[in-house]
Amino acid sequence: MSVTSFLNLTVNGITVGMIYALIALGYTMVYGILEFINFAHGEVFTIGGYFGAIFLTWIIIQPGMPFVLKITLIILAFLFSIIATSLLGETVYLIAYKPLVGKSSRIGPLLSAIGVSIVLQNLILLIFGTTPITMPVEAIPRGFFIIGDAYIRHIGLIIIGITCISMFILSLYVKKSRMGQAMRATSQDIEAAEMMGINTNRIISITFIIGSALAAVAGILVCMYYGTLKFNIGFLYGLKAFTACVVGGIGSIPGAFIGSLFIGLIENYSIGLKFNLLGIFVALVFLLGTYYQFYLLPKKAKAGIKFIAPLFSKREEEKGSLVTTEKKTKKDLMSMEEKEMAKKAYYFGPLLIFFNFKKKNPSSFVAFHVRQSIKISFFNLFVFITMILMLFIFPNFQISSQWKDVVTYLMLILILIVKPSGLLGENIPEKV
């Protein structure tokens, strides 16, 4: 195993992971709001790719065309595909899902989504047949770097770039804009949001449109990366992207990004690498997940302080204290012990808080978050240890490429079974 082929696998893994991320966003946003799996999303992705490829074939990209014109045409193709696919996504929502939203049966929307998925896949099959559609060669950036023996294509870097930019814009949109705020409110509690005057129907529509648009981008990028696109590709991509959402913690946008990266890399490594290196990779990821849990802790604890302040004030009042709530700052409301704890948590990072927890501080509410985090990260540590053990047991085991898909599926099943709460913890509000 040379370093260069490792580099190759890594870049490929990241590229594929980015594509999963674009698809995964559609799943995770819809799941966050409606709590159902949009099975048809994989097909929407395929159709997006088909639209792009058809557009570029249709306007005939010539070999002698000037560079600027070519770029313009490709951008036009993207726009065309994004618009057409968004319309498709919205139509699917209006026809097949909207009448079912809010009904008591949970299995209904799921079945409807499967029906739509079958319909879309068979429509592609009937219109274009089983032969895969090809992207015109002129539309594909064909340059590459060579680092050692590693061979890195420009298109891979373009995919990474486009995904990162759209992720950044999207998170900014969801965090900062009014629409994004409404979106988050809707995903917290759809009825409460409606009562607050948010047009939840519109929010859901927009969610479907954004998801479909991103899937369309992913479709064209995949078609450029591999040169062709087959009618049933959406099934596998959709499945992987959904698993990526679950790995990252369903409902969270950064979670989808990180989960997709993980799936993309592990998929490439599991075939290309011997077991020992694969083990190290998996172990590292889960160790990082654990660390991230602790990293988030101070923030959570801070939120807890804000949240609990009125309660503390109440209790003091009852005890007969003359100091009113308004005059107190939030810091004064905590006991010394808790203040120390929060301070340490905030400044000295994850390790310290972990050791502090071990000393047992039962009354501290910070300890609650520590307990939660330890619960979530317990499994990560477990995987870390098993993977290290695996290294010693099967150091030279390698999976043959024939079993690639089976390995992928089994991995997906395993991840869904053992890690349904995700690496970063899921972002679905509990609805009791």
Partner 1 sequence: MKILRVENLTKRFGGLYAVNNLSFSLKKGEILSIIGPNGSGKTTLFNLITGIYPPTEGKIFLKDDDITGLRPDKIAHKGIKRTFQTLRVFPNMTILENVLVGMHPIIEENIFNSIFHPPIMKRQQKEATEKAISILSFFGTRLTGTRLHHPANSLSYANRRRLEICRALASDPKVLLLDEPAAGMNPKESLEIMDQIKQIRDKGYSIILIEHDMKVVKGASNRVIALDYGEKIAEGTPKEVSEHPRVIEAYLGKKVAKNA
Partner 2 sequence: MIIMKKNDPTLGEKTKIIFMKIPTKAYIVITILIAILYPLLIMYGTAGQLWLRLAVRTEILVLLALGLNLIIGDTGLLNLGYAAFFAVGAYLTAIFASPRFGFDLPFWILFLASGVTAGFFGFLVGLPTLKLRGDYLAIVTLALGESTRLTLNNWDYLTNGPGGIPGIYHPSFFGYPIDSYVKFYYLTLIIILISIVVLNNLKNSKLGRSLNAMRENEIAAECMGIDTTKAKILSFVISSVFAGLAGSIFASFQTFINPTNFVFMISTMIVCMVVLGGMGSIPGVIVGAIVLDTLPEIIRQTFSVWLPSVFGSDFYANWPHILKDLFINFDRYRMLFFGILIVLVILLKPEGLIPNKRRQKELRETDPREISESEKTLFDVEEGKMDVKV
Q: Which residues bind partner 2 (CB under 8 A)?
A: 35-37, 95-96, 99-100, 102-108, 110-112, 114-123, 126, 235, 239, 242-243, 246, 402-403, 405-406, 409-410, 412-413, 416-418, 420
Contact in structure between 363 and 351 (CB atoms under 8 Å): no
CB 102 within 8 A of CB 22: no
Taking the complex as a whole, the smallest distance from the CB of residue 362 to partner 1 amounts, in Å, to 7
Applying CB under 8 A, does 108 fall inside the site for partner 1? no
Residues 294-313 that bind partner 1 (CB under 8 A): 304-305, 307-308, 311
Compare residues 38 and 364 and give the one whose CB is closer to partner 2.
38
Q: Indicate which of partner 2, partner 1, none lies near residue 365 (CB less than 5 to 8 Å, by partner kind).
A: partner 1
CB closer to partner 2 out of 37 and 216: 37
Tokens coding 383: 């995987």
Q: How far is the CB of 34 from partner 2 (least distance, A)?
A: 11
Shortest gap between Cβ of 324 and partner 1 (angstroms)?
13
Residue 356: DSSP 8-state = H
Shortest CB 357 distance to partner 1, Å: 15
Residue 88: CA count within 13 A, CB half-sphere: 28
CB of 208 vs partner 2, minimal distance in Å: 16
Q: Which is nearer to partner 2, 68 or 107 (CB)?
A: 107
Measured from the CB atom, the residue of 90 and 316 that comes closer to partner 2 is 90
- Residue 252: which of 343, 315, 167 has the closest Cα? 167
Site string for partner 1, 359-398 (x = CB under 8 A): ---x--x--x------------------------------
Under rule CB under 8 A, residue 349 binds partner 1:
no
- Contact partner at residue 95 from partner 1, partner 2, none, CB < 5 to 8 Å by partner kind: partner 2
Q: What is the torsion angle, in degrees rounded to the nearest 10, for the CA atoms of residue 369, residue 375, residue 381 and residue 385? A: 150
Closest distance between partner 2 and the C-beta of residue 31, in Å? 8
Residue 143 contact, options partner 1, partner 2, none, Cβ 5-8 Å cut-off depending on partner type: none
Of residues 153 and 240, the one with the C-beta less far from partner 2: 240
What are the residue ranges of helices labelled H in 152-232?
Answer: 154-176, 178-188, 190-195, 200-226
Q: Tokens 């690496």 map to which residue?
A: 423
Closer Cβ to partner 2, 144 or 403, answer by number: 403
Contact of 57 with 220, CB cutoff 8 Å: no
Please check whether residue 81 is in contact with residue 52, taking contact to mean a CB–CB distance below 8 angstroms: yes
180 touches partner 1 by CB under 8 A: no
Q: Are 297 and 369 in contact (CB under 8 A)?
A: yes
- For residue 304, the minimal CB distance to partner 1 (Å) is 4
Binding at 336: pick from partner 1, partner 2, none (beta carbon under 5-8 Å per type): none
How far apart, in whole angstroms, are the C-alpha atoms of residue 168 and residue 149?
33
Nearest of 215, 194, 25, 52 to residue 133 by alpha carbon: 52
Assess 331 for contact with partner 1 (CB under 8 A).
no
- Given the DSSP bridges, would you call strands 228-229 and 133-134 parallel, antiparallel or unpaired? antiparallel
Give 55-61 contacts, CB < 8 A, sequence gap 24+.
Answer: 55/80, 55/81, 56/135, 56/136, 56/139, 57/136, 60/136, 61/136, 61/138, 61/139
With CB cut-offs between 5 and 8 Å by kind, which of partner 2, partner 1, none does residue 268 bind?
Answer: none
Q: What share of the chain is helix, strand, coil (3-state, %, to 5)?
A: 75, 5, 20
CB of 163 to partner 2, least distance (A): 23
Cα dist from 253 to 30, 86, 246, 426, 427, whole Å: 11, 19, 11, 10, 9
CB of 171 to partner 1, least distance (A): 24
Q: Are 272 and 48 in contact (CB under 8 A)?
A: no
* DSSP annotation of 96: I
| Cα atoms found within 13 Å of the Cα of residue 276, Cβ hemisphere only | 7
- Residues near 224 by Cβ (< 8 Å), separated by ≥ 6? 135, 139, 140, 141, 155
Regarding beta strands 144-147 and 228-229, do their DSSP bridges make them parallel or antiparallel, or are they unpaired? unpaired
58 binds partner 1 (CB under 8 A): no
Least separation in angstroms between residue 232's CB and partner 2 is 9
Which listed option, partner 2, partner 1, none, makes contact with residue 94 (CB within 5 to 8 Å by class)? none
Residue 410 contacts which entry, partner 2, partner 1, none (Cβ below 5-8 A, type-dependent): partner 2
Q: Which does 102 bind (CB under 5 to 8 A by kind): partner 1, partner 2, none?
A: partner 2
Q: Which two tokens stand for residue 30?
A: 């819809």
Residues within the interface to partner 1 (CB under 8 A): 304-305, 307-308, 311, 314, 362, 365, 368
